[in-house]
Structure 1
Amino acid sequence: MSLDSSVTMLSPAVGAIFGALTPLVAYRLSVPWGEPARAGCASCEAPLPAGPAGWLRFSARCVSCGVRLGPSPWWTVPVGAVSAGLTAAALSGQGWVLAAALLLSVAGVLLTAIDLAVRRLPDPIVWRLAVAVAALLALAAATGGGWAAYGRALGAGAALLGVFGLMSLLTGGQLGLGDAKLAGVLGMPLGWFGWPLVVFGALLAVLLNGLVAVVLLALRRVGWRGSLPMGPSLLAGALLALVVVGLLLPAAG
């Protein structure tokens, strides 16, 4: 069995594992801006264990009162498995570019959970992702991917950061600066494959967010002046764009 096929087969399992670990981490980080991570159960106030045991646990229920902490693993696990599996299948053979995309796919589940809970994307996570993705793409460039593609990736990240940052200012905060920063990170792997994919991924994100808004309006879950977290749509748009380019890569070759 080749390395590429092994990565493709194992990626859904890895995504599922990260999805199972997501609820407790999301619970602890789903706090208003400027506040420290949660240190205990919001229901019974029992403290969480210190160290890694208080963060990395498959069971996201309070050991004292049994209340669920964070989002349901019934959606974080399958979303993690599907997003990682699709990414690996689409970008099989892309080496370090695949590694960067897989990192975004598993971290995206955590960011989605936090954004849905408190409508913010924590800067420490987003900036660490930016550094990691830039480093992985630099390895891809150094091992045969080409520095022109790397320069385009950095340029695309800066461009999406600027465009969505301007949109945030023009909409009076309806689109958050955290969304703009995430768009900048997602722009890097999209830009690696060319500017058309950058535009396609950004438009997909806006379209998906609009469709969700229409559905929620029809169900009367939000009002006309309400707003939605943009992070999940940005992540889904980038994933779908990468899947599309993955389908086209064999034909292009």
Structure 2
Amino acid sequence: MRDMPLDSSIPMLSVTAGAILGALTPRVAYRLSVAWGEPTLTGCAQCGGPFAAGRAGWWAFAARCASCGVRQGPSPWWTVPVGALAAGATALSLAGKGWALAAGLLLCATGVLLAAIDLAVQRLPDPVVWRLAVAVAALLAIAAATGGGWSAYARALGGGAALLAAYGLLALLTGGQFGLGDAKVAGVAGLLLGWIGWPAVLAGGMFGLFLNGLTAIVLLALRRVTWRGSLPMGPALLTGFLLALLATTLPLD
């Protein structure tokens, strides 16, 4: 089965969806930005004002508490453009790929959320990461069953396992500079990169490490961290994986 021709509206719809989900990210990130083992926030940490019950307490465009006005979560001034840019770039990279494109867009939207949480509390919550892994694997399985080929799906599983193992080993060898959460996110991204091909998996691993190192050097130079300090790796990893996707799918001419 050939790739579907790219509808010019798909990138624009993807950009719009990415922007909307980026606008919804602050409240979700705020509620999930807690220390390991602590429950999600049920109200404003500043004044104690409770969130609405059900979905309304999670999906809200407001980035400030209705009671005390304190900002809750990351600023939408960065989550909206980052979400839009990542979704648009993914749509261009996976043009006509059907369910694989859906998996890429899901990874983008959740990636913005994970980056926001990591920047806030240096955590990549397992419940979010494992749900993302299952969803991406399921969407790629549908892609394989509808013409993408099971060999590509096997390669996706191999790519995910390869990056999970590589970053997991780094987490063990660096004594905490890399976390197991970083390794798990790398494994999820490896599923999509593996679907594209082994060059994408290799590029994703290299770009992720390069951006992490570059970030550490800059922060050390600015004296924002020390040699023994730790910093959130998730945003650099996710950016590296997106760059790998672009580098290995977009034509050079």
CA distance in 2, matches of 1:145, 1:64: 51
Amino acid at match of 2:27: L
CA contact (8 A) 2:65 2:71 kept: yes
User: Which runs of structure 2 are paired with 1:1-253 in the superposition (5 Å)?
Assistant: 4-248=7-251
Amino acid at match of 1:41: C
CA distance in 2, matches of 1:227, 1:156: 27
CA distance in 1, matches of 2:164, 2:93: 25
Shift of residue 32 of structure 1?
0.5
Structure 1 residue ranges (4+ consecutive) displaced by more than 4 angstroms after TM superposition: none
Please give the per-residue CA displacement for 1:141-199, whole angstroms capped at 9, x wherever unaligned. 11111111100100111111111111111112221111111111000110112212101
CA distance in 1, matches of 2:249, 2:6: 18
Shift of residue 245 of structure 1?
2.0
CA distance in 2, matches of 1:218, 1:173: 21
CA distance in 2, matches of 1:156, 1:173: 24
Structure 2 residue runs without a partner (length 5+): none
Shift of residue 246 of structure 1?
2.2
Amino acid at match of 1:191: G
CA distance in 1, matches of 2:106, 2:32: 19
Backbone CA RMSD of aligned residues: 1.3
CA distance in 2, matches of 1:112, 1:149: 28
Q: Please give the secondary structure, in 2, of the residue aligned with 1:220.
A: coil
Q: Please give the secondary structure, in 1, of the residue aligned with 2:63.
A: coil
Amino acid at match of 1:212: T
Q: How many residues align?
A: 249
Please give the per-residue CA displacement for 1:28-67, whole angstroms capped at 9, x wherever unaligned. 0000111100011111111111111111000121111111
CA distance in 2, matches of 1:57, 1:114: 17
CA contact (8 A) 2:32 2:40 kept: yes
Bigger mean CA offset, 146-155 vs 41-50: 41-50
Q: Please give the secondary structure, in 2, of the residue aligned with 1:4.
A: coil
CA distance in 1, matches of 2:231, 2:156: 28
Q: Please give the secondary structure, in 2, of the residue aligned with 1:63.
A: coil
CA distance in 2, matches of 1:184, 1:62: 35
CA contact (8 A) 2:30 2:74 kept: yes
Amino acid at match of 2:73: G
Shift of residue 8 of structure 1?
1.2
Shift of residue 3 of structure 1?
6.3
